[in-house]
Structure 1
Amino acid sequence: MEAGLQPNTFGDWARLQGTRSKLETWQLKLLEEWFSSPEPSEIMKVMTSMFPEFRRVHACLCHKVGLEENDDVLAEKVLGMVN
């Protein structure tokens, strides 16, 4: 979304990684780092590591559509629901 590309259809991960991916190298690296085992403690650790990128993309998308970022309220509320 940030790059202005149409997202895959719901549940279609085929073009997210691999040779057909339209993601940048650094984005693919993040996906690799976010791999998790099914253990709840590992999942929470990975979720916590995703927060900075979530905040960055949130700010970028707010700017693109002309909305006030309001990061300390809405985004933190969403992240608090996960944590």
Structure 2
Amino acid sequence: MQPNTFGDWAELEGERSRLQDWQLSLLKEWHSGGEPNEILNVLKSILTEFIKAHKGICEKVGCEEDPEWVEKFFGMVL
């Protein structure tokens, strides 16, 4: 199957979505055109959720969370 086909997104954002309303709302907020400033603004708004996800994944897989890695990663982009 080809990645990112229309059907893949329909499962995320369409009627078949398993996401909660607040998650769908974030996805809508994170939409961006191709303008660099728009992309950077979206990345900045994603940062908080990324940090939460990173922490949760670290806890689930039993590895030590590394906030400095996250800062370095986003610092390279932002």
TM-score range, shorter chain: 0.7 to 0.9
Partner of residue 56, structure 1: 52
Q: Percent identity?
A: 49
Q: Which runs of 5+ in 1 are unaligned?
A: 1-8
Q: Do residues 30 (structure 1) and 26 (structure 2) align?
A: yes
Say if 1:55 and 1:37 are closer, same or farther in 2 by CA, change over 3 A: same
| Greater Cα radius of gyration, structure 1 or 2 | 2
State which of 51, 60, 76 in structure 1 corresponds to 2:71.
76
C-alpha RMSD of matched pairs (Å): 1.5
TM-score by length of 2: 0.84
**Larger RCO (CA within 8 A; separation ≥ 6):** 1
**Could you tell me how far 1:13 is from its partner in structure 2?**
2.4
TM value normalised by structure 1? 0.79
Deviations 1:28-76 (A, max 9, x none): 00001111122111111111111000001000110111111121x2111
- The structure with the largest helix share of the pair is 2
Deviating above 4 A after TM superposition, structure 1's stretches of 4 or more consecutive aligned residues are none
